[in-house]
Chain A
Amino acid sequence: MPYLELKSVSKGYGSNGSRTEVLRDVNLSIEQGEFVAIVGYSGAGKTTLMSILAGLIRPDTGSVTLEGREMSGPGPDRGLVFQNYSLLPWLTVAENVRLAVDQVFPEKTEAGRAAHATEFIEMVNLAPARDKRPHELSGGMRQRVSVARTLAMNPKVLLLDEPLSALDALTRANLQDEIARIRAQQKQTVVLITNDPDEAILLADRVVPLTAGPNATLGESFIVDLPHPRDRKALNHSARFRELRRDISEYLLRSRQDRHATVTRKLILPDIDPEDLSVPRNMLGRTRPLRSSEAREATVEVSS
């Protein structure tokens, strides 16, 4: 029996006349300990899918089960990391993490909860910044706080909703490596949503494409059978990496092209050159534009 399962899930917004089906007939089974990446376009319904997995919204039809039990709402068994960090600005790093720990482990002693929070702050290498407030931290560090806070709840499933999309390329690469390292330690079940096929291949055991919306649905899985740890640079030598990279982007680009009808239009592009605006208009000496063809034929007299 799969650990986390979506069965013919559909979700739409709006009422009868102007209704848009965002997701249609989505099926997904995830095994315990598996790292699944869902890749899709922005606006395809990725966040809707994640909200359904987190229990923040209910699907119109279909069911979501975790360990065979139907999900009825959000809970600490599913930890969610958002793109925008969602930290409380008046609390320090340690306090933000403690907030989650105190909620989830009320039975632990004060000292036990403090030690638990510290463990996860250290895991994301933020121990030296534990007393800083979010505005003192860079985007990459804020996202690490958010990851620590989520992991500290010991969730059964870690849900990552485009966690790195707001970061610059270098910080993103560093955090990808950190997610891979933590995953190797914790062996958690992870669902990552991303728009970057490379990120998906680098981190996941399985990549599932989400077709372009509306009526988005999940395509067939691509198994990423590349050995861990994966090195961004060395992967370029792997034929399997190249093949996966090509197939996944091909699949997604095609899913979008299928939606476009081809129309042939006849257009005219006038064959004229732009005017040099540094020449005053009254000095131009002509009132009609220069054709590109004329410009080529023009002869210039040079007095020596």
Chain B
Amino acid sequence: MSHHVDLSQLSKVYSTPKGPAVIVKDFNLRIAKGEFVTLIGHSGCGKSTVLSMLAGLNDITEGVIILAGKELVGAGPDRGVVFQSPSLLPWYTAFENVMLGVEQVFFTASAEERREIVEYYLTVVGLGDSMHKRPAELSQGMRQRVGIARAFALKPKMLLLDEPFGMLDSLTRYELQGVLLKLWRENRITTLMVTHDVDEALYLSDRVVCMTDGPEAEVGDIIPVAFPRPRERQAVMDHPDYYPLRERLIEFLEVHAHKKKHAAPVTPAAPAAPVAPLVEAAPAPSPRNDAMLVTA
């Protein structure tokens, strides 16, 4: 079996008072074992919807997802998820937050071994001295480190990252990308990441999948990123292919932004306007909203 993950003819339709809204349509993607794939697109294009279906947190309307030879049903610890906000339990320390999942999937191991697993991952992400602090005592960047440690500690078959560094400032983001890449290199976990940061996509992934804008989002362009691994940020940025690829991705995003503004695809069955707020729980305000409000 050549593919570890196979998303086939995936569709997501929400029913709204104005009729069915098609968010994702006929989405096909195959990911090889150990591959790092990034989905890139604008806020509200449906990329998080694809990821949450893969995580089992969102029902699939049509199509099928196969992970390691089995059809996916529901959520499970075989897929580690890192969200934009780390969602830690505030009354638990960083150690206890990571232990929560470790206790579940390593219930046959000894308490000593479980402790070693938790300590190992928290130390690798740089929290060796802060693992017994509660989330309130940690900076946002440190909390996200706990989220990364928590996902890796479960030894998942697949890692799902939903804009994991979206809330961090650019410089802290650089550091955490390094932490993520280091852990990924040691474990080679098959990864699907969602982002709209072009540099992040190029630095981390083997392939960048550009998604067209919703509604009815699908795969637009697939760009292989062949920088040699292990990667060093500076070496990647100095690579002669880096800036041409960067320009290509920026262009893809710009073209789709304009399409969105000038010719919003409005069909009677799937009105463009109410779709965006349904895709993500809290969509960032988009220029399309600007246009709507001005003409209102």
Contacts and interface: CB of A to CB of B under 8 A. Distances in A.
Contacts of B42: 168-170
A259 B237 CA distance: 25
Contacts of A43: 139
Given A41-B172, A128-B295, A237-B247, A138 B108 contact: no
The 10 closest A-B pairs by CB, nearest first: A168-B284, A138-B285, A195-B169, A274-B105, A236-B247, A289-B108, A270-B113, A139-B285, A128-B294, A236-B243
A197 interface: yes
B19 interface: no
A238 B11 CA distance: 41
A112 B247 CA distance: 47
Contacts of B295: 128
Interface string A198-241: 10000000000000000000000000000000001100110000
Contact of B251 (A42, A233, A288): A233
Nearest to B174: A253
Contact of B155 (A128, A174, A273, A286): A273
Contacts of A237: 243, 247
Interface of A: 40-43, 128-129, 132, 136-141, 165, 167-171, 174, 195-198, 232-233, 236-237, 242, 245-246, 249-250, 252-253, 256, 263, 265, 267-270, 272-278, 281, 284, 286-290
Interface string B159-188: 000000000111110110000000000000
Contacts of B169: 41-42, 165, 195-196
Interface residues of B, number: 55
Interface string B98-141: 00000011111100010011011001100010000000000110
Label chain A's interface by main secondary structure: loop
A171 B44 CA distance: 13
Contacts of A236: 243-244, 246-247, 250
B285 A275 contact: no
B76 interface: yes
B77 A277 contact: yes
Nearest to B129: A263
A286 B109 CA distance: 11
A249 B170 CA distance: 9
Contacts of A289: 106, 108-109, 113
Given A236-B247, A274-B105, A168 B293 contact: no
A168 B108 contact: no
Given A253-B175, A277-B76, A268 B120 contact: yes
Given A139-B284, A168-B285, A277-B104, A265 B128 contact: yes
B247 A269 contact: no
B293 A250 contact: no
A7 B35 CA distance: 53
B150 interface: no
Nearest to B154: A274
A140 B294 CA distance: 12
A138 B106 contact: no
B86 to A, nearest CB: 16
B290 interface: yes
A138 to B, nearest CB: 3
Nearest to A144: B290
Contacts of B116: 267-270
Contacts of A245: 237
Contacts of A198: 170
A214 B286 CA distance: 36
Given A196-B170, A270-B117, A277-B104, A138 B293 contact: yes
B234 interface: yes
